[in-house]
Structure 1
Amino acid sequence: MFLNCHTYFSLRYGTLSEEELLDLAIANKQSSIALTDINNTSACLKFISKARDKNIKPVIGVDFRNGIQQCYIMIAKNNSGFLAINDFLSKFLHDKTAFPDVAPVLENVITIYSFEKALELDKNNFEENEYIGIGIKDLNKLRFSRYSNYEEKLVLLQPVSFRNKKDYNIHRLLRAIDTNQLLSKLPKEEQADPEEKMLSPDLLISAFKEYPSILKNSIEILNACTVHFDFSQSRKPQNLKKVFSSEELDFQKLNELCKEGLKKRYTIITPQIKERLQKELSLIKSQDYVSFFLINWKIIQYARSKNYFYVGRGSGANSIVAYLLRITDVDPIELDLYFERFMNEFRSSPPDFDIDFSTWDREDITSFIFDEFGKNNQVALLGSYVTFQHSGAVRELGKVFGLPKYEIDKLSKGSFIDNKLDDIAKLILKYSTYLDGKPNYLSIHAAGILISEKSIHYFSATYLPPKNFPTVQFDMHIAEDVGLYKFDILGQRGLGKIKDSLEIIKKNQPHIKLPDIHETKQFFQDPLINKMISEADCVGCFYVESPAMRMLLKKLRVNDYLTLVAASSIIRPGVAKSGMMREYIIRHRDKKRCEDAHPILLQIMPDTYGIMVYQEDVIKVAHHYAKLDLGEADVLRRGMSGKYRSRQEFQDVKNKFINNCIQNGEKIEVVNEVWRQIESFAGYAFAKGHSASYAVESYQSLYLKCYFPLEYMVATINNGGGFYTTETYIHEARKKGATIEAPCINRSNIETTINNKTIYLGFQHLENLKKITMVKIINERIYGNYKSLTDFTERTNIQIEQLDILIRINALRIFGKDKRTLLWEAYYKENTAPKYEHQHRIFNISTQEFKLPQFEITQLENAFDQLELLTFSLYNPFILLEKKPNQQYLSEDLKSHLHKIISIYAYLVTVKRTSTSNKKQMYFGTFLDKSGNWVDTVHFPLVAQKYPFTGKGIYRITGKVVEEFDFPSIEVTHLERMPYVVDPRFDPTYNRKVISETVVTKQLTISPNTTVT
């Protein structure tokens, strides 16, 4: 009987999940209800799936509203009706316009107007599909209304949004958050009726005893509606089925592309290669994944035609077909990649590729996909839900209750004593737990694109986020459940570095002939590159630059491609958490240790010494050790990601894993240990093909850094860096032989540039320098370099505050004058020269020159100006120390002081926070010593609490020097940030010293031709 039910996807209005709504229906003995969320279809597919599990017939539609005001309710009679509703809803969501007062007549759609709305519209004629909704509160009015005669058009309209008073309170809070008002000021018209509840059948029968046809009509509508989607394990994919005119032509094209690829990728085509290719092609055809490969091939073809850099990664790199189609650059034959991780006949979900493009190119690739495959509305971005989190919910509730900011901050951070909280604070904390995890608003999946055989509106309405690509209103889990599998198109800065590096090299060293960066096998054997890896000289290089990776490369003594592939997965948190990273290092360094391995596991995974390192190792162990079939093994592998772990199918496979092993004669303690390793690491490890893809890109980066370090560092800086801040990459460039120059008005651009071995920082690094100022400087420079301060100011006409920044960073040093002189002249001219904001002068107006004293500008003054304007100094930060260090230990001295307590001074680069097994906070610190070399520290919980990091700067680190696998670090016992000298620009003592040595300006109001004293 209930034709207007809401879930919490009636965003900032509803309070119930799909399951809670269905459980409410069961409690009220309803065999069918209609879900009609407000301007939203997010819950529809999950509602249908869950309803059938609970033996309730699902009916779906949309409650169309302009703001809070209801226009009408549309209910789908079948799938075609749902498509029509989604088409209609999407049009207005895209256009961001109000819904019309009168609904269009849509085929296979039932439209219900509320009683009040029908009266307001003075609607007399009703189409066959149109009805009037009557609530209990409308019955008295109905008796005296002309609509009392429309017996066949009257249906029950009892909205359902809450279960109880608590839900209603949550609703009011959500409405206050949505309207950004104090709860006490929330207008009644912005709130739902408190009686929007699912009333018992007996109550409804009693209330409508004079109009039994109203309940009868409502039940008939529910019975007339049937929307079906297949959520079974045997469901067929809903993705685009063919790329060319037929599925036969698609397969023919795929074969032709593979034959072409064989000639380009392999000099010798062995029987092993042929056998692997035929095996894959046969499975791809039988599983109906031909179009999946061709779609990805088309995307890659377009990218290559535009010279876009890309990396195909994920388990897709396990496929030789993907390698031949150039979707990936990883040779699965060379690495013996396990194809069954990517695709097998038992796998219920299709494979997927993750394709990375540079951040700059990704949007054009997305546009291409919409243009190429979306002609019949078959493409959309995948949505996601941003949910309320505890801290954010506390903040939102604090605002609607009118708390001051400082009190909200305390509650949000947990900085309070429970028994001292007032009633309002307790209420906020209580209701924040109810909001926690509920959807707040719709967003976009980081990478997913859906390409459907049917119109995307067959499954969902779409809306337009800021990028203006249609986006479905459900997430990846719902998409997979209904058979829509995403294509992952990601943006990655590392690829931008590679692309930009090549362009910068061509400009800076035009005589150099560069190799094809995509033919990476030439780099795997390069001794100079492999030496860099073994020394962990990888700052700026994709995936191998972090402190943790630097440590692992040294401990593993990585000096080849295959070991780097392993390292790329070992570094993942799961392998470390399981304790197997350490065991892998031991076995890699000492092969005799492999004798400790379980014989079956060693036989299954000889290349990783019997240790599970990759995701497919879970499949191998489950299949060969626990005797699960490949489909069950893949359920286990997917379940480890966490998002499937709660599903019953995963629990069933887990039980079968353990029981099979015990039946095969394994000891329970051994089985439990193997299971512990699987459970702790699988969700956080890479597929081997994915690791190999990362290793390929790492080698491309390492090649560029090895042979063109300065150009590569410039590209790194211009692409937003990587793991570290810009300061670290500038330091690295200096170590590689660069001269680093502050921004210069005649040499610098917005981005950082290089000329031979001199790197000029870009204007973009200057805090508070406006983009319009940068553009003015560069555009005006087309007509020639700036020759003087007067020339510069007259041609650019920039504001004095902006000029002040440029002078203090020494960007006008080319004029041969010190900063103080330039500042004096700039401010004098600002106060005396006429302003011409919007036109160039035809004639230059001469200005008076003044004889100023020779000012002394020290390194300290420059350093502090740089700290203020760049956020870092181009000088060695050790010149800023108030006192000279009394210990002179450097990073190179650590190994000669093993197991001794030493103190060392070092500049903080980055800190990694982690927690121990008992959840206590500890830290790993990364520093640079005075000579610019790394110092690594470990801060155990007691020390971390007693001696916390207190910000950027130079620290005196006291601790015990330890070493593991030839990698030294310091276990810190005492940490203290050392004071800098007083900023000389504001130190009266320092200024008096300057006055005693130089003549300074005492008076600014002077007449022309006067010598300033």
Structure 2
Amino acid sequence: MSSTSFVHLHVHSEYSLLDGANRIDALLKRAREWGMPAVALTDHGNMFGAIKFYRQAQQVGVKPILGCEVYMAPGSRFDRNTPPRGERAYHLTLLARNTQGYKNLIKLVSAGYLEGFYYHPRIDKALLADHAEGLIVLSGCWNSELCQLLLKGEQAQAEQVACWYREVLGSENYYLEIQDQGLEGQQELNAALLRLSEKTGIPLVATNDCHYFDLEDAQVHDVLLCIQTGKGINDPKRLRFSSNQFYFKSPAEMQALFRTCPASIEQTLAIAERCAVEIPLGQTFLPRYTVPDGFTLDDYLEKLAWEGLEERLRFLEKREKGFSRRQREAYYRQRLAEELQIIKKMGYAGYFLIVWDFVRYAREQGIPVGPGRGSAAGSLLAYVLRITDLDPLKYDLIFERFLNPERVTLPDIDIDFCMERRDEVIRYVTEKYGKENVAQIITFGKMLAKGVIRDVGRALDLPYGEVDKIAKLVPAKLNMTLERAMQEEPRLKELAEQDGTGKTLLTLARKLEGMTRHASTHAAGVVISPQPLTEFLPLYRGTQGEAITQFPMEDIEALGLLKIDFLGLRTLTVIYRTLELIRQGRGENLTLDQIPLDDKATYQLLSEARTFGVFQLESQGLREILQKLRPEVFEDLIALVALYRPGPLGSGMVDEFIQRKHGKVPIVYEVPQLEPILKETYGVIVYQEQVMKIASTLAGFSLGAADLLRRAMG
């Protein structure tokens, strides 16, 4: 037998929250190095990491086996009473054999959270029997029903359980899982499993229930369990593993462990060979928007667009100083026709109609809607549909920055709503497209530099003051890591190199840094599906009992599902309350578009940095820059907000911009063609649109190709 003839079929990643200490990329890299043809992911009760695992496995050339270690209720999943013997749930290892099995796995895992949650997300035998097609089931670890019966000497009942699974799943799809981590009583358990296998003909398969990466990571996992349970490492009653052998062992190690049962090793390869799941990535699955009789999606969008343009042109002619409809209308019509042609060609008319519909609903209900966020402000179509309220032609914004015809991806329109009424819009969308088709999106909190030091310090029972002092040595900078912190703070580096508690603390913290700590609901993300979501992804139970996705934002985008950010913005609430107070107090029906953007008194207040409570202009750092900049026009404010980022601040771009504005540094254009592009920003490249225009003007790039260049630049 080859030294590489083994596949791990029972593996926990960091998505077995605060119990798994394996990073997916490291697992796959190790599997490839060892020549493993495949590896499974079987996190506790969830599929959080499934798409990440699937995509990365394909990239490294290792077959991904998608699975889950589910919790089986002793009776019904609906039973919320703890049984007399105290078994709240047993463990069972499920693997998707094919795409149908993957879909059934999704439904089982979703039901575990939405129907069977009681301490754990539980399923039951009846549900498994209904969704058994395409699954391979391993009998489970020490905490499985089968092993617990054998440990109690109840061989006859154990045989009944095993035969039930074999009958439901088919004899070729059920295996007795055998492990050897050196636990007390494990040899006797394995002997009982072997006898059961011989009696029933159910084959044995070897696994290792991998919770961490290397042998030396047993301590890392121990600390992780302390963080999970809120216990100190010196607590004699805390949760702990009874062995340090739950790591990602090499094929040679596994073969040595089961040398008396080589068939159990060979079965891992046979199972891996049979598993083949294909997840469609890169496709688009838009919900269907119902248009009036006699219209196609494209026809109806065009009708709304041209009607909207007429309304906007009348508005601009009435309100915009110096706007000449006679001079500008042809330009607007040409731009709108070009956008509609691109959208029709890419098949995204339905997307715009869906967004238009819920924004229209919000406006009709008097729910404040933001003027526009992100690259969607570059779309004239979005403007004429009143999805946004910013004229992209006035600000010379580029449509291809929003929707690139040379890179087929779903548009991404983020919408701000009044914080207090955002949920009304989500409720409207849910009712329109179906409760089973709409859900909010999960997000994961990570153990970051300062936080992981505090977590590990508590777990090690170190004095709070000592841990706090070390944590405060980490510089308070964006995206700070412990590695960077040690480079920038000599005292931290010294602690990490000297023997003592500080070194232990930092060593363990660095091992855990960046791992997933908890799951929560994304502040804005909502997914809308053309079918029940469980046809595409598993669902999770939020803190209020609501259904949210188990896949995060980037995985939902990879699946091609429609993702919308419904952002609840406090500033919108404050602005519209202010308008209401003006109406009540002064009898004026003031609207935002009536407020001029060239009011000198306002710019004087801004130059004095009197901006407490002003969205994006109230931080101490930004107020200091406001006083230096002394803005005079609205475009100065746009540039300031764009420049107030770590990169420009650290590179001196902000100071350069201010000095050029005030004439302290001459404005020099390397070539004359740059002047019309950079004149507004005093010769400094501030916006991504400027990068695109430079590439188009100087190198002949199409705007689509220029957008690809912009993306490559980061």
Higher Cα radius of gyration: 1
| Higher-RCO chain (CA-CA 8 Å, sequence separation at least 6) | 2
| Cα deviations by residue, 1:785-825 (Å, 9 ceiling, x for unpaired) | xxxxxxxxxxxxxxxxxxxxxxxxxxxxxxxxxxxxxxxxx
For residue 495 of structure 1, what is the aligned residue in structure 2?
Answer: 572
For residue 448 of structure 1, what is the aligned residue in structure 2?
Answer: 525
For residue 411 of structure 2, what is the aligned residue in structure 1?
Answer: 351
Q: Distance in 2 between matches of 1:280 and 1:62?
A: 45
User: What is the SS of the residue equivalent to 1:398?
Assistant: helix
| Cα deviations by residue, 1:833-855 (Å, 9 ceiling, x for unpaired) | xxxxxxxxxxxxxxxxxxxxxxx
User: What is the SS of the residue equivalent to 2:367?
Assistant: coil
For residue 109 of structure 1, what is the aligned residue in structure 2?
Answer: 135
1:366-385 correspondence to structure 2 within 5 Å = 366-375=426-435, 377-385=436-444
For residue 94 of structure 1, what is the aligned residue in structure 2?
Answer: 114
For residue 55 of structure 1, what is the aligned residue in structure 2?
Answer: 61
| Cα deviations by residue, 1:687-733 (Å, 9 ceiling, x for unpaired) | xxxxxxxxxxxxxxxxxxxxxxxxxxxxxxxxxxxxxxxxxxxxxxx
Q: Distance in 1 between matches of 2:636 and 2:499?
A: 59
Q: Distance in 2 between matches of 1:616 and 1:333?
A: 13
* CA 1:425–1:506: 2 relative to 1, 3 Å: same
The structure 2 residue matched to 1:171, chosen from 218, 221, 236, is 221
Shifted more, 439-448 versus 578-587: the winner is 578-587
How far is the alpha carbon of 1:283 from its aligned partner? 0.7
1:567-716 correspondence to structure 2 within 5 Å = 567-588=640-661, 593-626=666-699, 630=703, 633-639=706-712
1:449 maps to a residue whose letter is: V
| Cα deviations by residue, 1:356-408 (Å, 9 ceiling, x for unpaired) | 12221122223333333343x33232322211123322222222222232233
Q: Distance in 2 between matches of 1:149 and 1:613?
A: 74
The structure 2 residue matched to 1:523, chosen from 593, 596, 604, is 596
How far is the alpha carbon of 1:621 from its aligned partner? 2.7
CA contact (8 A) 2:453 2:471 kept: yes
CA contact (8 A) 1:383 1:474 kept: yes
1:261-300 correspondence to structure 2 within 5 Å = 261-267=308-314, 268=325, 270-300=329-359
CA contact (8 A) 1:380 1:451 kept: yes
| Cα deviations by residue, 1:311-344 (Å, 9 ceiling, x for unpaired) | 1221111111100111111112222222121122
For residue 236 of structure 1, what is the aligned residue in structure 2?
Answer: 283
The answer to whether residue 415 in structure 2 is matched with residue 393 in structure 1 is no
The answer to whether residue 201 in structure 2 is matched with residue 151 in structure 1 is yes
CA contact (8 A) 1:619 1:630 kept: yes
CA contact (8 A) 2:379 2:402 kept: yes
Q: Distance in 1 between matches of 2:224 and 2:292?
A: 51
| Cα deviations by residue, 1:759-810 (Å, 9 ceiling, x for unpaired) | xxxxxxxxxxxxxxxxxxxxxxxxxxxxxxxxxxxxxxxxxxxxxxxxxxxx
Identity %: 29
* CA 1:140–1:306: 2 relative to 1, 3 Å: closer
Q: Distance in 2 between matches of 1:360 and 1:30?
A: 53
1:465 maps to a residue whose letter is: G
CA contact (8 A) 1:28 1:199 kept: no
For residue 28 of structure 1, what is the aligned residue in structure 2?
Answer: 34
| Cα deviations by residue, 1:247-289 (Å, 9 ceiling, x for unpaired) | 9722222112112212221124711111111100111111222
For residue 256 of structure 1, what is the aligned residue in structure 2?
Answer: 303
CA contact (8 A) 2:659 2:665 kept: no
1:132 maps to a residue whose letter is: L
* CA 1:544–1:181: 2 relative to 1, 3 Å: closer
Q: Distance in 2 between matches of 1:367 and 1:68?
A: 35
1:496 maps to a residue whose letter is: T
CA contact (8 A) 1:175 1:191 kept: no
* CA 1:610–1:424: 2 relative to 1, 3 Å: closer
1:69-84 correspondence to structure 2 within 5 Å = 70-84=90-104
User: What is the SS of the residue equivalent to 1:620?
Assistant: helix
* CA 1:118–1:140: 2 relative to 1, 3 Å: closer
1:411-430 correspondence to structure 2 within 5 Å = 411-414=470-473, 418=495, 423-430=500-507
1:617 maps to a residue whose letter is: Q
CA contact (8 A) 2:441 2:522 kept: yes
How far is the alpha carbon of 1:175 from its aligned partner? 1.1
Q: Distance in 2 between matches of 1:441 and 1:545?
A: 31
The structure 2 residue matched to 1:513, chosen from 563, 583, 588, is 588
For residue 133 of structure 1, what is the aligned residue in structure 2?
Answer: 177
CA contact (8 A) 2:18 2:227 kept: yes
1:486 maps to a residue whose letter is: K
Q: Distance in 2 between matches of 1:424 and 1:600?
A: 61
CA contact (8 A) 1:597 1:610 kept: no
1:296 maps to a residue whose letter is: V
User: What is the SS of the residue equivalent to 1:60?
Assistant: strand
How far is the alpha carbon of 1:224 from its aligned partner? 2.2
| Cα deviations by residue, 1:198-254 (Å, 9 ceiling, x for unpaired) | 4444555566566555444433332222222355xxx23344365559997222221
For residue 409 of structure 1, what is the aligned residue in structure 2?
Answer: 468
For residue 377 of structure 2, what is the aligned residue in structure 1?
Answer: 317
How far is the alpha carbon of 1:589 from its aligned partner? 5.1
CA contact (8 A) 2:194 2:204 kept: no
Q: Distance in 2 between matches of 1:365 and 1:313?
A: 17
1:83 maps to a residue whose letter is: K
Q: Distance in 2 between matches of 1:24 and 1:449?
A: 36
CA contact (8 A) 1:162 1:196 kept: yes
Q: Distance in 1 between matches of 2:625 and 2:452?
A: 40
How far is the alpha carbon of 1:114 from its aligned partner? 2.7
* CA 1:537–1:101: 2 relative to 1, 3 Å: closer
The structure 1 residue matched to 2:25, chosen from 9, 19, 24, is 19
The structure 1 residue matched to 2:46, chosen from 25, 28, 40, is 40
How far is the alpha carbon of 1:111 from its aligned partner? 2.3
1:82 maps to a residue whose letter is: Y
CA contact (8 A) 1:114 1:157 kept: no
CA contact (8 A) 1:598 1:610 kept: no
Q: Distance in 2 between matches of 1:570 and 1:29?
A: 48
The answer to whether residue 515 in structure 2 is matched with residue 438 in structure 1 is yes
CA contact (8 A) 1:382 1:472 kept: yes
Q: Distance in 2 between matches of 1:411 and 1:246?
A: 68
How far is the alpha carbon of 1:179 from its aligned partner? 1.7
1:367 maps to a residue whose letter is: R
2:402 maps to a residue whose letter is: F
1:326 maps to a residue whose letter is: R
CA contact (8 A) 2:582 2:590 kept: no
How far is the alpha carbon of 1:135 from its aligned partner? 2.6
CA contact (8 A) 2:442 2:520 kept: yes
Q: Distance in 2 between matches of 1:51 and 1:352?
A: 27
Q: Distance in 1 between matches of 2:563 and 2:46?
A: 21
1:76 maps to a residue whose letter is: A
* CA 1:639–1:483: 2 relative to 1, 3 Å: farther
1:301-316 correspondence to structure 2 within 5 Å = 301-311=360-370, 312-316=372-376
Q: Distance in 2 between matches of 1:185 and 1:550?
A: 50
CA contact (8 A) 2:70 2:123 kept: no
* CA 1:165–1:627: 2 relative to 1, 3 Å: farther
CA contact (8 A) 1:317 1:330 kept: yes
CA contact (8 A) 1:113 1:131 kept: yes
CA contact (8 A) 2:176 2:193 kept: no
Shifted more, 338-347 versus 124-133: the winner is 124-133
* CA 1:170–1:485: 2 relative to 1, 3 Å: farther
